[in-house]
Structure 1
Amino acid sequence: MLRYLMTFQRQELKTRFKNGPIKILCGKSQFSDKKRLSGWKEDYESPKKKSIEDELNKWKIKIRLEQDKENPAVWYLNEEDVQLFFETVPQGEDCLRVK
């Protein structure tokens, strides 16, 4: 879904997020039965976040995720990386690196 939006619906993303950072809700494991030694903030990585990072790592321009300081379940696409992506990869062009 993110790949589609970044490739074909850039203006919609800009409008929805009011030209601010693109936010992604990744969850915080409150219902997970995974055993942890400490609180979830310190040693839990959301499977959704991992899957998004794996996807972003396949793109021509790597976009980093940044965690919201107020809500650890919310992540942002790095704004500078997104700007570089929009400037480098034309809208409608495949964003994946060629292997």
Structure 2
Amino acid sequence: MTIEHDYFRPREAPASLLYDAFQEEAKHRKGRDVDEWIRLELEAVHRAAVTYAEQHGLHAPTMEQVAAAERYARGSADYGSKWALVLSQKMSAINNTER
């Protein structure tokens, strides 16, 4: 059995969790139109981010913040990783300014 390593996957939460949510939803792209799979991937990452934030005392991002992080990552070779890292930094940064 060969174990595949994903070099783009962030190592620490919440970025790793957000990346995994995106990757899991991306597996279902086939058979969907582009608008649908984009919407569903955004929703999956948003759900994961909100759940993690609530459990760990971080800022729960809005859907617009999730979408903004996704737009920022577009065109990057490490798209999924960049999306997850940018969003997780936003979740932590807002929380830190509220202290």
Could you say which structure has the higher helix fraction? 2
Structure whose CA Rg is larger: 1
Question: Shorter-normalised TM-score: what interval?
Answer: 0.3 to 0.5
TM-score (norm 1): 0.38
Could you say which structure has the higher strand fraction? 1
